[in-house]
Structure 1
């Protein structure tokens, strides 16, 4: 093994699976990626109670999964889940992947918030949700933000050296939705409607800054944010409020609550990030292996 480049990745869920899929396709490590993904899906099912464990003791299962004397085998760790009761859950920790044809290896390192680990210069590269970039560092302006190509331009260089490189194509959308009573009849349910709308808008609290950036502060004049009560389904809360913004894939759950789907305001994807002040030739080599025009992404950043 040569120089090892650590890359911060999510510990679980759809973002990590998107990273594993990208790593598998670009670095030809499909078996490794499948092993990690299937292990974590099984552990998620155990945590949710949808399957029964063969081994009740979570630490015994952890010992079976992890091979600490071989860094090229995946390791896992135990965290408290954020569901009611705070159940313990096995999540991804790390694995080292030798790269073919170069004197460099990469080490995927699990982090709860990879973007913040890049901001503190722990890593030169990482993967995280594009949403977190909007929630934390993009400047709020009166005009809306609707392209990922504009995100980097809205990052104040005094705030962070982290920039978006590209998206991974696991696209879902922050979508405007409303009840028929609030929706504008025959007119589109879109940003233009919001410009004349005054009243409550239901969003998840963690998306407040994102929604402000995406819609623009001028559009939100006269709009009052409302938040779902703890434990309440987001679509149900939006149906009660009359208007809201939430992530959708098919929109079926929103329709089940009698909601009409409007404009897809902004794409949400897992993105490849880099800390520009930490770049080196080996890091650039790894970035070129992970980037590429084969990505079917909504988040391509203009050169």
Structure 2
């Protein structure tokens, strides 16, 4: 009987969808990926209150929906679980729990081998405690937790491994999935330089407040470098305040952007893309099994359009 390789994945959101997209193409399971993604998007909309359910109260009950979605008898069908959402009232939200995907006809694996995707709130931390050997998580979390702070900036995901102290963790980044958004410098016109670029060089001469999300404080320190931050102090959005609006009030800040349209709506100018935020494949086992090596190769590959290139 072949080996089943457990892989830690996020329970919801863009990183999980990126993992599912990757597997849909490499393992030919598009229907499974679409099923999980559409279910979670539907449940997110319900939690946010952007859609309403039809039918009686019993059918709309979250536990009833959970039972309808989940299959506990067939591990190759997805199973879901409940999580307290951080929105007002802390509603129960249905999120991904697990699914087993057979590795039929995959080169380098024995008959009966499979991977099992297992949802975790923070997969990186599960790898740090060796609960898993492989997993996916946002590169941001690694910067927030273990990357060393140095005077010089960190500008590329591929430089993360060199910044990880082996005494802190043996988890290493293998590759990215290409779902890239950017931590971007942005400023109001009266703060942004009139003639020069809004970039790291501007920040080196700047003194004053820099608005960021509190959870990104260590990430921003790593990305900008401690030397650049001389004379700068962090400001934070008030609870419930939209990030771009808070940056507009402060005059200068760093936040994740996809199109930048919301920032422009608040009168902000977009500057340098300081660091790419991307879902990455992580490994914590120095001596992987033959099946694990084959799975890692399956999840990696030259067909990925990613900001990350790591020498194997």
Distance 1:40 1:133 in 2: 25
After superposing on structure 2, the runs of 4+ consecutive aligned residues of structure 1 that deviate more than 3 Å are none
Q: Which residue of 1 aligns with 2:33?
A: 33
Give yes or no for the alignment of 1:57 onto 2:66. Answer: no
Task: Please report the TM-score for the alignment, with normalisation by the length of structure 2.
Answer: 0.95
Write out aligned runs for 1:259-270 (5 A). 259-270=268-279
Deviation at residue 56 of structure 1 after TM alignment: 1.7
Distance 1:50 1:225 in 2: 34
Partner secondary structure for residue 117 of structure 1: helix
Asked if the contact 1:121/1:278 (under 8 Å) is kept, the reply is no
Instruction: Provide Cα deviations, 1:194-228, integer angstroms capped at 9, x if missing partner.
Output: 00000000000110000010110000000000010
Give yes or no for the alignment of 1:66 onto 2:70. Answer: yes
Q: Which residue of 1 aligns with 2:225?
A: 216
Deviation at residue 285 of structure 1 after TM alignment: 1.1
Consecutive unaligned residues in structure 1, runs of 5 or more:
none
Instruction: Provide Cα deviations, 1:19-67, integer angstroms capped at 9, x if missing partner.
Output: 1000101111111111100111111111111222243211111111111
Give yes or no for the alignment of 1:299 onto 2:308. Answer: yes
Distance 1:25 1:168 in 2: 12
Task: Please report the TM-score for the alignment, with normalisation by the length of structure 1.
Answer: 0.98
Asked if the contact 1:178/1:242 (under 8 Å) is kept, the reply is yes
Write out aligned runs for 1:71-150 (5 A). 71-101=75-105, 102-103=109-110, 104-150=113-159
Instruction: Provide Cα deviations, 1:123-167, integer angstroms capped at 9, x if missing partner.
Output: 000000000011111100000111112110010001001011111
Deviation at residue 278 of structure 1 after TM alignment: 6.0
Asked if the contact 1:267/1:299 (under 8 Å) is kept, the reply is no
Consecutive unaligned residues in structure 2, runs of 5 or more:
none
Q: Which residue of 1 aligns with 2:175?
A: 166
Partner secondary structure for residue 156 of structure 1: coil
Give yes or no for the alignment of 1:18 onto 2:44. Answer: no
Partner secondary structure for residue 247 of structure 2: helix
Q: 1:181 aligns with which of 181, 187, 190?
A: 190
Count residues with an aligned counterpart.
Answer: 303
Distance 2:26 2:199 in 1: 38
Q: Which residue of 2 aligns with 1:198?
A: 207
Q: Which residue of 2 aligns with 1:228?
A: 237
Distance 1:218 1:10 in 2: 34
Distance 1:115 1:92 in 2: 17
Q: 2:256 aligns with which of 199, 223, 247?
A: 247
Alpha-carbon RMSD across the aligned residues, in angstroms, is 1.0
